[in-house]
Amino acid sequence: MLRMYLLQIWFGLSDEGTEDAIYDSYAMRSFLSLNFMTEQVPDATTLLKFRHLLEEHNLCKGLFEDIKARLEKAGFMMHGGTIVDATIIQSTPSTKNRTGERDPEMHQTKKGNQWYHGMKAHIGVDAGSGHVHSLTGTAANEHDITEEHNSSGKTTMSFTEIQDTPALKRETKSRATNIFRKSNTKSAANRRN
């Protein structure tokens, strides 16, 4: 079941799609070590129950970390840099529920000229191999740069998509001003000597 679940994640398949793909693909059957003479493919409902069981017992993160460690040990992951990006996961802004309130973990954010309500998934990907090595979730109003340190892993270089925001412009201007002041102070000291 675990291998079937991994195939579903790696290929982005639905429960039924995973079951069908295993019947169609010899490579997937080989990965699952299935012999159609003696065994059959677990059905989509069994995969769904297995996934819910993993989620219920919070085993997904540990499983993810174990697979990442095994890939690193086998030399399949490079550590030359990390690409960090965020994607918005929308939720309904409706208050038509039992409590009559919005989900407190969800917030609004503006991307381009459109407003979204939901969360952000910040994803860290190894620049060399393309393997995902970290994933964090935040409210949608969190800026991408705030999660870069959580998603960049142990790398020497990090590439993050940053959009211009007033706060970021102020921080950049402040850093540039401090650098300029330090260089002017050094220049003045050198002129005196």
Sign of CA dihedral 125, 128, 67, 151: negative
Quickly count: other Cβ atoms within 10 Å of residue 15's Cβ.
19
> If phi over 0 gives left and psi between -120 and 50 gives alpha, with beta otherwise, what is residue 12?
left
Eight-class DSSP state of 145: G
Q: What is the pLDDT of residue 76?
A: 73
pLDDT in tens, 82-109: 777 777 888 777 776 677 777 777 788 8
pLDDT value at position 150? 59
Model confidence at 46, pLDDT cuts 50, 70, 90, reads very high
Amino acid at 175: R
What are the boundaries of each domain within the chain? 2-57, 82-162
> What letter does residue 41 receive in the DSSP assignment?
P
Percent of the residues in the chain that have a pLDDT greater than 70, as a whole number:
68
8 A C-beta contact, residue 7 and residue 15: no
Residue range 132-164, pLDDT digits in tens:
777 788 888 887 666 665 555 554 444 445 444
- pLDDT for the residue 50: 93
pLDDT of the residue at 171: 54
Rounded to two decimals, what is the model's pTM?
Answer: 0.45
Instruction: Say yes or no to pLDDT of 28 above 80.
Output: yes
| Contact indicator for 156, 142 with CB cutoff of 8 Å | no
pLDDT for 130 equals: 72
Write down the pLDDT at residue 136: 80
Say which range, 31-40, 117-126, 135-144, 146-155, has the weakest mean pLDDT: 146-155
pLDDT of the residue at 184: 47
